[in-house]
Amino acid sequence: MIKRTTVNFIVDLVAFLDLLALSFTGFLMKYVLPPGSAGHGQGFRGGRGAAVAKDFWSMDRHEWGGVHFYLALIFAVLMLTHILLHWTWIKCYVKSLFGSSR
């Protein structure tokens, strides 16, 4: 059987990598890909009317938005798992905050 500490490490590592990917896709949609389907707007390359990318790695802004959404769902599940794995510690810590100070 796999150790609890190993499961914690794997969940935390995957959550960290997922957060990096989530940050990457957010940066991509905010600064690299155009804000509208027409390809107008500010974008990463400069001011108004500047040439901006309409796709990145053969995916447009809408497709990257889908990837970003699923990465966010995965991150939420991983954070819920993380909280469940640490639930005993959380309960003890909260109890120590509000418990008696004898």
Domain residue spans of the chain: 4-98
Model confidence over 52-71: pLDDT tens digits? 678 888 899 999 999 999 99
SS3 label, residue 33: coil
Question: Which of 31, 75, 78 is CA-nearest to residue 50?
Answer: 31
97 — pLDDT class (breaks 50, 70, 90): very high
Model confidence over 4-42: pLDDT tens digits? 999 999 999 999 999 999 999 999 999 888 776 555 545
How many angstroms separate the first and last alpha carbons of the chain? 41
Contacts of 67 (CB under 8 A, 6+ apart): 25, 59
The H-or-E segment that residue 70 falls in is helix 61-85
